[in-house]
Amino acid sequence: MMHISRLKALGILLTALLVSMLAVPSSITAIDAGFTRALATILDSNITTFIAAAVLFFIGTGPVRGFAVTLGIGIITTVFTAFTLTRLMVAWWVRWVRPQQLAIS
C-alpha cells in the first residue's frame, strides 16, 4: 500500500513539473512551481488517509491499532520521501548539471 502512494506522489510531482515546464520558460522556476503545485495534492491525499488511520487507532483494538500505527508511520515517511528528499535530489541535480531548459521526453 505504501509503495502505491509513493508512486502516486511521484506521478503527481512529474505531472506538475511537466505542466510548469510548459508554462514557465526558466527550468529552475518550472521546477519550483511544479513542486509547489504538487505539495497541495500530495498533502491532501495523505492527510485524508492519515485521518482514516487515526480513526482506526481510536476505535480499533489490538491488531487494528497496530495497523493504524503502521499506516500512520508509512504516510509520514511517504510524504517526507516523496517531497523533501525528491526535491533535495532535484536541487542537487540542477546545481550539478545547470540545465538551461528541461527536455520533455
pLDDT tens-place string over residues 19-44? 766 676 677 777 777 788 888 888 88
Asked if residues 68 and 60 have their Cβ atoms less than 8 Å apart, the reply is: yes
Taking the C-alpha atoms of residue 71 and residue 56, their distance in angstroms, rounded to an integer, is 10
pLDDT bin (cut points 50, 70, 90) of residue 2 is very low
CA angle centred on 18, ends 12 and 50, rounded to 5°: 15
Q: Is the pLDDT of residue 4 over 60?
A: no
Read off the amino acid at residue 51.
I
Q: Which three cell numbers stand for residue 58?
A: 481510536
Note every long-range contact of 91-99, with CB atoms under 8 Å and residues 24 or more positions apart, other chains counting: 94/27, 94/28, 94/31, 99/27
pLDDT of 21 reads 66
Q: Domain ranges in the chain?
A: 2-95
62 conformational bin, left if phi > 0, alpha if psi -120 to 50, beta if neither:
left
Q: What is the pLDDT of residue 67?
A: 96
Query: Which tens digits make up the pLDDT trace of 49-103?
Result: 899 999 999 999 999 999 999 999 999 998 888 888 888 888 888 888 877 766 6
The candidate with the shortest Cα–Cα distance to 46, out of 80, 93, 13, is 80
Q: Which residue's C-alpha cell is 480499533?
A: 60
pTM of the model: 0.67
